[in-house]
Amino acid sequence: MALFKGAGVAIVTPFNGKNEVNYEKLGELIEFQIANKTDSIIICGTTGEASTLTHEEHLECIRYAVEKVNKRVPVIAGTGSNCTATAIYLSKEAERHGADGLLVVTPYYNKATQKGLIEHFTAIAKSVSLPIIMYNVPGRTGCNMLPQTVAALVNNVDNIVGIKEASANIAQVADIMSLTNGNIDMYSGCDEMIVPILSLGGIGVISVLSNVAPAQTHDMVAKYLEGDTDTSRKLQIDFIPLINALFCEVNPIPVKTALNLMGFEVGPTRMPLTKMEPNNVERLRNELRNCNIEIKE
């Protein structure tokens, strides 16, 4: 059984004026998401700035999210690293803190051969009993997980159950579905490709857009899975300009800016990410308004 079907939010990590994790605000964001039909909370992913969190902050965010959500929706913890031993440590701790599943990104910077990817993910999976969703995002990691590698892992490791595919290569998605005979939980990792990936047998999205439009992103997936493809397709197309604005600078700079424009006061990004350029802020503001998302600044 899939960890979730629908739209899971790759939730931001809010910071206060001292650049510390703002757990009270994180709780507010979680409540906003659940009230607006989000199907899963994905904590400490790329959008959650996991790469600039200390291990203590990382694990406390997971623990806090699990406690706050209290089984209302699944909590999936980002525990990937370019160091296999570190990924194993974070994965074991996330399991101990009660996460429902893990999101594990391919190794970044040092990259890996396809054989190395198989050994990396297998070692992590064997260290825990939780279901694992692999995360392929070559634009950020410099490492592309080939369809044959994905199939080898899903077919041979029991608790590797899915993939968040963010290669933006629809042919690669088709190959994965073919090589696994569809026996994989396929999630879009690109908000602009939710409907195309659903059309190939995907079951949802792990979404940046959901931070600012949770109900609409949920509906985009739910309507498709219910057979109302016209409504789903219209939502996808209508939100393309906002999606493009949310990625006009490095994620999560725009989405945290958007949440601040909406009045959530999630604080800044941590260095080396910086403030959004003024012209891009104006673009983002306009697209939020075009999607009838209330601006409170």
Q: What is the pLDDT of residue 289?
A: 97
**Taking the C-alpha atoms of 49, 98, 23 and 205 in order, what is their torsion angle to the nearest 10 degrees?**
50
Q: Are 184 and 163 in contact (CB under 8 A)?
A: yes
Residue with tokens 């396809």: 114
Q: What is the pLDDT of residues 104-113, one digit of tens each?
A: 999 999 989 9
Q: What is the DSSP string of 7-42?
A: EEEE----B-TTS-B-HHHHHHHHHHHHHTT--EEE
The CATH number assigned to the domain with range 6-224 reads 3.20.20.70
In the predicted model, what is the mean pLDDT of the chain?
A: 97
Q: Are 256 and 48 in contact (CB under 8 A)?
A: no
Tell me the torsion sign for CA atoms 23, 27, 33, 39: positive
- Tell me: pLDDT of 297 over 90: no
Among 201, 199, 278, 195, which residue's Cα sits nearest to residue 240?
195
Q: What is the pLDDT of residue 64?
A: 98
How confident is the model over 41-56, as a mean pLDDT? 97
- Exactly one of 164, 187, 224, 256 is catalytic; which is it? 164
Q: What is the pLDDT of residue 191?
A: 98
Q: What is the pLDDT of residues 123-141, one digit of tens each?
A: 999 999 999 999 999 999 9
Q: What is the pLDDT of residues 219-268, one digit of tens each?
A: 999 999 999 999 999 999 999 999 999 999 999 999 999 999 999 999 99
Radius of gyration (C-alpha) of the chain in whole angstroms: 18
How confident is the model over 43-66, as a mean pLDDT? 98
SS3 202: coil
Q: What is the pLDDT of residue 1?
A: 79
Q: Are 104 and 79 in contact (CB under 8 A)?
A: yes
Q: How far apart are CA 33 and CA 28, in angstroms?
A: 9
Q: How far apart are CA 237 and CA 234, in angstroms?
A: 5
- Exactly one of 23, 64, 108, 135 is catalytic; which is it? 135
Q: What is the pLDDT of residues 2-28, one digit of tens each?
A: 999 999 999 999 999 999 999 999 999
Other Cβ atoms closer than 10 A to 88: 19
Specify the pTM: 0.97
CA atoms within 13 A on the CB side of 165: 30
Q: What is the pLDDT of residues 156-182, one digit of tens each?
A: 999 999 999 999 999 999 999 999 999
Would residue 135 show up in a list of annotated catalytic residues for this protein? yes
